[in-house]
Amino acid sequence: MSKHDPGPAFRALHQRGNPFVLANAWDMGSAKLLAAMGAQAIGTTSAGYGFTLGIPDMGCLTRDQSLSHAQDLVASTPLPVSGDFENGFGDAPETVAETVRLACEAGLAGCSIEDTALPTHHAYDFDLAVERIKAAVSAARALPRDFVLVARADGIMNNQYDLTEAIRRLQAFETAGADCLYAPNTASFRDLMQICAHTKAPVNALAIGKYTKFSRAQYADISVARISLGSALSRYIHQAIINGAKPIFDKGDFSILRKGAKGIDIDRLLIEGAEEV
């Protein structure tokens, strides 16, 4: 797979009713491992990457940090990579448009833009939220290659608005030209089904919390096109660190370290994950 233009291959993965897993990686090693394990595309995770820098998940990453990290992941694997670019690193539509242009220059196949005025949890007013996506779409369409723009409505997750408002925003984002729609962590699977039913563009689902009990086939049944992991794998790894370190420091018990992966197996996967497919 050529990294000259990852956009078409990435866009082709977005099929309603046939969801692929967007495997969110937090460093070059995790990206290579996920690629070797069968991932079709890699996503960045602002929370997971922030953890590697010792930064809490509070919208504290800068645009330069996120772009540099994205370039590292693009260089690590031949798979398409999509950027979790939070609110576009600024309130103004012009700033969001510039972020999209820079994302393309970093080699990304796409990126997501959310409607939250970080570092707060407040949602942008409806009109501004739509204008921001319009600016992002306009910038994406002016790029020299294909680019998949994901529009996020995060108000349900952040307790800022209800399902009706989320659908209203997603429909407006779709009309503005967004390629994929995303309202993370809705109250129920039925609500996610309602989002899919009231939109036509590909919809992203987030496999966290209660949503981990549903299978890919069940997501397909409600017409989901993409299932992202967010920071879930990164948090899983951090839980393993907590579980392993606690008996070491509390009891001087090192026995849990026997359960680690063999270095030779990790080495093999790192090599495989960097190979062209």
Q: What is the CATH number of the domain that holds 68?
A: 3.20.20.60
Asked whether residue 254 is domain-assigned, the answer is no
Q: How many domains does the chain have?
A: 1
Q: What is the mean pLDDT of residues 106-113?
A: 98
Confidence of residue 1 (pLDDT cuts 50, 70, 90): very low
At residue 226's C-alpha, the angle toward residues 59 and 238, to 5°, is 45
Q: Provide, rounded to the nearest whole percent, the portion of the chain with pLDDT above 90.
A: 94
> So what's the pLDDT on residue 60?
82
Residue 248 CB contacts under 8 Å (≥ 6 apart), including other chains: 254, 256, 257
pTM confidence score = 0.93
Asked whether the predicted pLDDT for residue 2 surpasses 50, the reply is: no
Asked whether residue 4 is domain-assigned, the answer is no
Asked whether residue 5 is domain-assigned, the answer is no
Q: What is the mean pLDDT of residues 232-238?
A: 95
> So what's the pLDDT on residue 52?
93
Domain region containing 98? 11-234+262-273
CA distance 57 to 115: 17
Question: What mean pLDDT, rounded, does the chain reach?
Answer: 95
Return the structure tokens found at 197: 């039913």
CA distance 116 to 199: 21
Asked whether residue 127 is domain-assigned, the answer is yes
Q: Kindly report, residue by residue over 25-36, the tens digit of the pLDDT.
A: 999 999 999 999
Length of the chain: 277
Asked whether the predicted pLDDT for residue 235 surpasses 70, the reply is: yes
CB 7 within 8 A of CB 18: no
Asked whether the predicted pLDDT for residue 242 surpasses 90, the reply is: yes
Burial call 19-39: b when 16+ CB within 10 Å, e when fewer:
bbbbbbbbbbebbbbbbbeeb
Q: Within 10 Å of residue 228's Cβ, how many Cβ atoms?
A: 26
Asked whether the predicted pLDDT for residue 3 surpasses 70, the reply is: no
CB 153 within 8 A of CB 176: no
- Output phi, psi for 91, to 5 deg: -80, -35
Q: Kindly report, residue by residue over 30-57, the tens digit of the pLDDT.
A: 999 999 999 999 999 999 999 999 988 7
Residue 22 CB contacts under 8 Å (≥ 6 apart), including other chains: 41, 42, 43, 82, 204, 226, 227, 228, 229
> So what's the pLDDT on residue 96?
98
